[in-house]
Structure 1
Amino acid sequence: MTLPSPRHPACALGAALLLAAAGAAEPPLATPEDLLRDARFRSAYAAALGPKAKLPWIARLSNSALLRAHRFESVDYQVASPCKPHDCAEHNLLLLYAPASGKVYGQLHERGQVTLLGAPGPALSQELGRLWKREFRSQ
């Protein structure tokens, strides 16, 4: 029996399938609830929120869509967009979590007042604003 050459299309396809299966072995966090079960996230999130952690909708990441991936300046983030029930337009948060470093950043809006969370640098602050506009003001 002759084995196909490593350059044979069947080998390339098999290798691609194995790599895809290996990548699928650890699914990314999909919901805000998944984040809240992660002790590393909870600790960084509480530190970034400071006294705002007492607000129930923020503490629970209420009304957020599923998490989505975002890459900025070579850092992979998970994005959450919670808002206050029945007052989403006036109370909302765009949140970035970098699982590799455990850092949390956010832009919180409360009736027109903006609070940056996690001490983002100038470039990341601008990116938070851009993402916030796309998320909450594109309708």
Structure 2
Amino acid sequence: MAASESALAQRLPADILSMYGGTWSTNCTNPNAPKVRVEADALMVERDGQRLTGGKPQAAASYFGNSPPPNYEMALLSEVRGGSELLFLIYRDKRGRYIQLNADGRTAAALGNQLLKVQFFACRTDAVQPQVAAPPPPPATGSIDAVVASPKFGAAWRKALGADAREAWLARMDGPAPPPRWVNVAGARYALNGFCKAHDCYDNSAVQLYAPDTGQMFGFVHRLNRDTLVGNPPPALAAELQRIWKAEFRAQGR
């Protein structure tokens, strides 16, 4: 993870909050029942008058990769002071959405096995209505993984590449890749993605900055002895793309 990202205060996007924000409880009619809260800048667990808080929340629709468990919908990740992780795993079945907790290290010990087994239901009438149809996929702006996997992302990249889209590894973006993430550059929010050519990563790699709201795509492509800026980025973005590329593909000797 680049240092510039770790310095940013991470917040959940508005569309994620509209679906999952608020209070969830093991029993919404009992004010003393264990509960969890999803807020823009924190995930919280409350029990017996005590609260455990995770900061820097992120949404990760593809947390389980290509093999999600049954009824899985979304994962919300956060960091607890001390370095451990607190996860809210969101599922949806005929009863509606519910959250199950997951954690590691001291956070798991603090929660205890019993709290890690229970289900928390949203304390809103619409969230517990039976649902027969399968839930729609997360909005493209809700999850960084969904944004990068969307057809719009690929189309914007190929358009920005122009004639270079004839190179298969560049057009398909199918080589090894670090995890995508959100970054703020020059006062705007971008999806940052990177990838490199299979079996030739050191000499062929690329990073991308994509703005879902406007569809703008910028990139930096490194090929043996040749660097190329993609999408005609303004100077501030061009400099940041080169810095990001070095951090992703040279910092660890890749």
State the TM-score, normalizing by the size of structure 2: 0.44
Could you say which residue in structure 1 is the equivalent of 2:195?
82
Could you say which residue in structure 2 is the equivalent of 1:59?
171
Matched, 1:30 2:142: no
1:1-139 matches, cutoff 5 A: 14=23, 17=37, 19=39, 26=139, 27-30=142-145, 35-36=148-149, 38-61=150-173, 62-139=175-252
Where do 5+ consecutive residues of structure 1 fail to align?
1-12
Once the two structures are superposed, residues 84-117 of structure 1 have per-residue CA deviations (whole angstroms, 9 ceiling, x without a partner) of 1111000000111111111111110110211100
Of Structure 1 and Structure 2, the greater helix share is in: 1
Partner Cα distance (1:121, 1:18) in 2: 37
> Which one has the largest radius of gyration?
2
- Shift of the alpha carbon at 1:19? 4.0
Runs of at least 4 residues of structure 1 off by over 2 A?
A: 16-21, 23-27
Partner Cα distance (1:42, 1:137) in 2: 25
Once the two structures are superposed, residues 6-59 of structure 1 have per-residue CA deviations (whole angstroms, 9 ceiling, x without a partner) of xxxxxxx84x925459x867541327xx634x2322221111111111212112
Partner Cα distance (2:158, 2:169) in 1: 13
Contact 2:186 2:236 in 1 (8 A): no
Partner Cα distance (2:194, 2:144) in 1: 14
Partner Cα distance (2:243, 2:166) in 1: 27
Partner Cα distance (1:80, 1:18) in 2: 27
SS at structure 2 position matched to 1:17:
strand
SS at structure 2 position matched to 1:135:
helix
Partner Cα distance (1:39, 1:78) in 2: 14
User: In structure 2, what residue type is equivalent to 1:138?
Assistant: A
SS at structure 2 position matched to 1:126:
helix
- Shift of the alpha carbon at 1:65? 2.1
Task: Work out which structure has the larger RCO, using CA pairs closer than 8 Å and 6 or more positions apart in sequence.
Answer: 1
SS at structure 1 position matched to 2:158:
helix
CA RMSD of aligned residues (A): 2.6
Where do 5+ consecutive residues of structure 2 fail to align?
1-21, 24-35, 44-58, 60-75, 77-137
Partner Cα distance (2:202, 2:249) in 1: 7
SS at structure 1 position matched to 2:145:
coil
Between the aligned residues of both structures, percent identity stands at 33
